Chains A and B, each alone.
Chain A
Amino acid sequence: MDIFTNMAIGFDVALSPSALLYCLLGVTLGTFIGVLPGIGPLAAIGVLLPITFHVPPTEAIIMLAGIYYGSMYGGSTVAILLNLPGTAASAIVALDGHAMAKQGRAGPALVMTTLSSFFGGCVAIIIVSAFAPPLAGFALQFQSPEYFSLMLMGLLAAAVLVQGSFLKGIGMVLLGLLIGTVGQESISGVPRYTFGSLHLYEGLSFVVVVIGLFGLAEVINNLSLGAKRERFTSQVPWRELIPSRKDMRDSFMPTVRGTGIGSFLGVLPGAGPAISSFVAYAVEKRVAADPSRFGKGAIEGVTAPESANNAAAQTAFIPTLTLGIPGDAVMALMLGALMIHGLVPGPEIVQKNPEFFWGLIASFWIGNVLLLILNLPFIGLWIKLLSIPYRILFPAILSFIAIGIFSLHRDPFDIYLVIGAGIAGFLFIKLRCEAAPLLLGLILSPMVEVNLRRSMLLSRGDPTIFLTRPISLVFLLLIVAMLAAVIVASIRSRGAGGQKSEASQEDNAQNVP
Chain B
Amino acid sequence: MKTTRIAGAIGALCLAGVLMPGLAMAQYPNREITMIVPFGAGGSTDIIGRIAAQALSKRLGVPVVVDNRGGAGGTVGTQAAAGAKPDGYTITVATTSTHVVGPLTVKTKYDPVKDFTHIGMIAETPYVMVINPQLKATNVQEVIDLARKDPGKLNYGSAGQGSTTHLAGLMFLNATKTDMEHIPYDSNAKATAALMGNEVQVLFGSMPAVLAQIQANSIKALAVGTTTRSPKLKDTPTLQEAGVKDYRASLWLGLSAPAGTPPEVVKKLADALGESIADPAVGELLEKNGADPTKMSPQEFSALIASEIDVYGAIVKGMKK
Contact = CB atoms under 8 A, between A and B. Distances in A.
Nearest to B160: A186
**Max count, chain B CB within 10 A of own CB: residue among A198, A457, A458:** A198
Contacts of A45: 41-42
Interface string A440-471: 00000000001000100110100000000000
A49 B41 contact: yes
Contacts of B216: 346-348
B212 A46 contact: no
B168 interface: no
Given A140-B197, A332-B42, A458 B212 contact: no
Contacts of B66: 50
A274 to B, nearest CB: 16
A231 B241 CA distance: 76
Interface in A262-303: 269-270
Interface string B282-300: 0000001100000000000
A333 interface: yes
Contact of B192 (A325, A332, A348, A410): A325
Contact of A333 (B40, B50, B155): B40
B22 interface: no
Contact of A347 (B41, B161, B218): B218
A15 interface: no
A460 B183 CA distance: 11
Interface in B53-71: 66, 68-71
Interface string A404-422: 0000011100000000000
Interface in B156-192: 160-162, 181-187, 189-190, 192
A336 interface: yes
Given A202-B71, A454-B183, A458-B183, A324 B40 contact: no
Given A189-B162, A333-B40, A339-B47, A269 B212 contact: no
Interface string A186-211: 11110100001011011000000000
Contacts of B288: 339, 342
A410 B208 CA distance: 28
A198 B76 contact: yes
B74 to A, nearest CB: 11
Interface in A97-136: none
A329 B69 CA distance: 15
A337 B212 contact: no
Contacts of A187: 161, 184
B228 interface: no
B194 A332 contact: no
Interface size class of A (residues with CB under 8 A): 35 or more
A345 interface: yes
Given A46-B68, A450-B186, A457-B183, A335 B42 contact: yes
B238 interface: no
Contact of B215 (A340, A348, A410, A458): A348
B160 A189 contact: yes
A399 interface: no
Contacts of B196: 140, 323
Contacts of B113: none
B199 interface: yes
B69 A332 contact: no
B75 interface: yes
B259 interface: no
Contacts of A346: 212-213, 215-216, 218
Contacts, number: 131
Interface residues of B, dominant DSSP: mixed
A444 to B, nearest CB: 15
A144 interface: yes
B190 A325 contact: yes
Given A186-B161, A198-B72, A329 B215 contact: no
B46 interface: yes
B43 interface: yes
Given A143-B197, A332-B189, A345-B212, A198 B79 contact: yes
B192 to A, nearest CB: 7
A175 interface: no
Contact of A329 (B40, B155, B193): B40
Nearest to B197: A140
B71 A344 contact: no
B107 interface: yes
B275 to A, nearest CB: 21
A184 to B, nearest CB: 7
B144 to A, nearest CB: 21
B94 to A, nearest CB: 17
B155 A184 contact: no
17 contacts: A45-B41, A187-B161, A198-B72, A201-B106, A323-B193, A325-B189, A326-B189, A332-B187, A336-B43, A336-B46, A340-B289, A342-B288, A344-B215, A347-B212, A347-B213, A347-B216, A457-B183
Given A140-B193, A198-B79, A333-B42, 16 more contacts: A45-B41, A46-B68, A140-B196, A143-B197, A184-B72, A196-B107, A198-B76, A325-B189, A325-B190, A332-B187, A335-B189, A336-B47, A337-B42, A339-B289, A344-B211, A345-B212
